[in-house]
Amino acid sequence: MTDTPDLEPTEADRPEWTKAHGPLRSFGRIKSRPIKARQAALFDTLMPRIAVPDPAKGPIDPQVLAPEAEEVWLEIGFGGGEHLAAQAARNPQALMIGCEPFLNGVASALRHVEEGGLKNVRLHADDARAVMAALPEASLDRVMILFPDPWHKARHNKRRFLQDETAVEIARLLKPGGRVRFVTDWLDYADWALERLDRTPGLTRIMTEGADWFAVPADHVVTRYEEKKLGDTTPIFLEFARDASR
């Protein structure tokens, strides 16, 4: 959902975790325009209270983060946080974990959390893969990947977030019956994602009779980024469920 150009980041731009983790870089710049003073202040006041524990320091247990939560949702690359905040407000029973390396987006999300008085949101201002690796098996009810960076150039396709290994990791994290939703407005990325999700053991595509992949789910939240229509197609929605027998 982050509106970023197809840039090659420099080593100085890389967060410490991604330097140690490996070569895959599924996002562009870390920060663009200056962050507004009010939002910058939230990094000091609000962020410490709702930040996901550092995954480099050990496993992350959602039941410890929110013992009262009935469900746990993960949004990977939440952009400006509009969708994350709206879903959190609609679903107070769910713990919403959001990951986003673009600092301007995190600043925007913090504002949405504060203005909405949301108590069920936890944020990670960095690469989602670190959090995913630290979460226990079958711990998530939903995973959402909305409008990820398409990395158009063929030589950059390897930087796309959705790879075979990330699809397998998503399947590991979903509870039986849990769902992953992937949304893009680039046709080639939809084909790419469908191919990888389709061949992931344990995942089955959810097909609604009479609907195709342009059908908008009833609970979808349209964001300003989506309204920009930067892609080459109407948004495409792919939804898969974790097999109940696992």
Q: Is 11 labeled as ligand-binding?
A: no
Q: DSSP class of residue 214?
A: T
**CB neighbours of 130 closer than 8 A, spacing ≥ 6?**
17, 21, 55, 56, 124
189 is in an annotated binding site: no
Instruction: Determine whether the annotation assigns residue 127 to a binding site.
Output: yes
Question: Is residue 149 annotated as part of the catalytic site, yes or no?
Answer: yes
Strand 140-146 and strand 71-76: the pairing is parallel
81 DSSP β-pair partners: none
The sheet carrying 140-146 orders its strands as 121-124, 94-99, 71-76, 140-146, 174-184, 236-242, 203-205
| 209 annotated among ligand-binding-site residues | no
Q: How far apart are CA 175 and CA 171, in angstroms?
A: 8
228 is in an annotated binding site: no
Catalytic residue among 149, 191, 219, 243: 149
Q: Using alpha carbons, list the distances in angstroms from residue 46 to 5, 51, 110, 203.
A: 29, 9, 7, 37
Residue 75 assigned as binding residue = yes
- How far is residue 94's CA from residue 101's CA, in Å, rounded to a whole number? 23
Query: Does 3 carry a binding-site annotation?
Result: no
| Phi and psi, residue 180, nearest 5° | -120, 135
Q: Distance of CA 226 to CAs 3, 148, 161, 218, 234, Å? A: 10, 11, 19, 16, 10
User: Binding residue per annotation — 6?
Assistant: no
Provide the annotated binding site for S-adenosyl-L-methionine.
75, 100, 127, 149
Catalytic residues: 149
Provide the annotated binding site for substrate.
153, 185, 223-226
Provide the annotated binding site.
75, 100, 127, 149, 153, 185, 223-226
